Amino acid sequence: MEFIRDYADWFYLIGAVLFILTLRGLSGPKTAIAGNRYGMIAMAIAVITTFFVAENPVVWMIVGAMVLGAMVGIARARTVPMTQMPETVALMHSLVGLAAVLIAVAAIIHNNELAKLDVGLLQANGVNFHEMGKVHLFELFVGCFVGAITFTASVFAYGKLAAKKWAKTISGAWVKPVQALIFIAMFAAGIHFFLTGNMTSFWAMTGLALVFGWVWIAPVGGGDMPVVVSLLNSFSGWAAAGIGFTLENNMLIVAGSLVGSSGAILSYIMCKAMNRSIINVLFGGAMGGTAVAVEAGDKAPRNHRSGSADDAGFLMSNADSVVIVPGYGMAQGRAQNAVKELANLLKEQGVTVRFAIHPVAGRMPGHMNVLLAEADVPYEDILEMDEINSDFPATDVVLVIGANDVVNPAAKDDPSSPIYGMPILEAHKARTIMVIKRSMATGYAGLDNDLFYNDKTMMIFGDAKKVVEDMTKAINGNGH
């Protein structure tokens, strides 16, 4: 395929433009499907072009790896429930980091083995060998340690999101000094490798980077995990870009840079939505944490008002406006389709129904948007926090489904709260608040929620899907 080899740069340029259009499409729900298609076409172009420009490729290994990866990916995509999507995303990030590490290791070992052979013999066999310069060593240094950190950090994030026993949050005064020591040792080993090419230093840097990735993310609290997932997405992009320089692959450099920069921007947006700095999230310890949870548990029991699905159905069917606030409880109960049916029924009764989305609701960026899109909720009915907060005082009923921290008034009223200053959905300003939860347990940040004890709040306990379906039946039963 001389044609592809001769015009490889043009194919890479087309792929790069398509990747940019992919990000543009993914910036909004209405264009997300087109954006995904652009990305699929761009990736196909990148893979095919790289396949034909590679020198002396081992075809059976490449094709075998592609087929195996495709089989695993398709099987996972078809079977993963939406409740497990956040940890699946984290796991995919880990694979990108691992790939960067393995490529860096292979490139160095390959170079070292070639360096032992006679240059004339290599040239006679059509192998152009040039001793690896400082620039390539630096690229491998960056790509390898960023990839290693991304790998173990993403594996821990996966375990945390999947509630695995081995992914335990660590805390204590010793954590930050240990993090600093590991990082300094890792960086020192990397610098020594860069200056001397010493393989012992390279292996030390890689091993310390793997350890640092785990120790770095392990203290981060559950409430900050959406930001962590976004940041790890960025890291995986930078790792890929670094390895792209090593492989002299322009497409990998462009794609990695786009992923890295977009992930960094998303992390910034999410931190802004939480009124926290990225440094505070990653090095400030857990959001909430054990101490807060213990203090909350030591408090005297507080009174809350509970009701039934029938009560909720009656109140909503007689309201003029309803705002639904989805949270992880909706994902856990797989209630998005039932919620869509409830919203449609209320609309048929002349009720104005809208959905309010907080930027960090759920377990990953855009989690609630994905769920609602899956249920075909109209895009115009889904409003972000800044768009809908001013409407809550005039809203008759707010229905909170499994959300906790993103509607906690303590963020505005309690200076001692760990989430004080975080922008929230101001559901507490509505005329009536209804909250669907399995129990009065705290949310992912481990904090009690004053909204649940508000005089205007009615708690409805049970599985989100079952409760919403019962609400729909109640509205139908009222004869409306």
Whole-number pLDDT of residue 292:
43
Pairwise CA distance, residues 309 & 399, whole Å: 12
| Most distant CA pair in the chain, distance | 91
Whole-number pLDDT of residue 300:
56
Q: Which of 320, 376, 391, 405 is catalytic?
A: 405
* pLDDT 10s digits, 106-156: 888 877 776 665 555 545 555 454 556 677 778 778 888 889 999 999 999
* DSSP 8-class letter at 352: E
Q: Is domain 299-477 in CATH 3.40.50.1220, yes or no?
A: yes
Pairwise CA distance, residues 341 & 468, whole Å: 9
Whole-number pLDDT of residue 125:
52
Q: Count H helices and E strands in the chain, helices first.
A: 20, 6
CB neighbour class for 94 (10 Å; exposed up to 12, middle 13-18, buried from 19): buried
Q: How far, in whole angstroms, is CA 75 from its chain's centroid?
A: 21
Instruction: Please state the length of the chain.
Output: 480
Pairwise CA distance, residues 291 & 36, whole Å: 43
Q: Helix, strand, or coil here: 418?
A: coil
Pairwise CA distance, residues 432 & 457, whole Å: 6
* Low-confidence stretches of the chain (pLDDT beneath 70): 1, 82, 114-133, 221-223, 284-301, 443-446, 478-480
Active-site annotation holds for 413:
no
* pLDDT 10s digits, 365-412: 778 888 888 888 998 899 999 899 999 999 999 999 988 888 999 888
Helix, strand, coil content of the chain in percent (nearest 5): 65, 5, 25
> b/e per residue, 349-381, with b = 16+ CB within 10 A?
eebebbbbbbbbbbbbbbbbbbbbbebebeeee
Contact 122, 111 (CB under 8 A): no
β-strand pairing of 432-437 with 457-461: parallel
Whole-number pLDDT of residue 67:
92
- Give 254's Cβ-side CA count (13 Å radius): 21
β-strand pairing of 352-357 with 432-437: unpaired
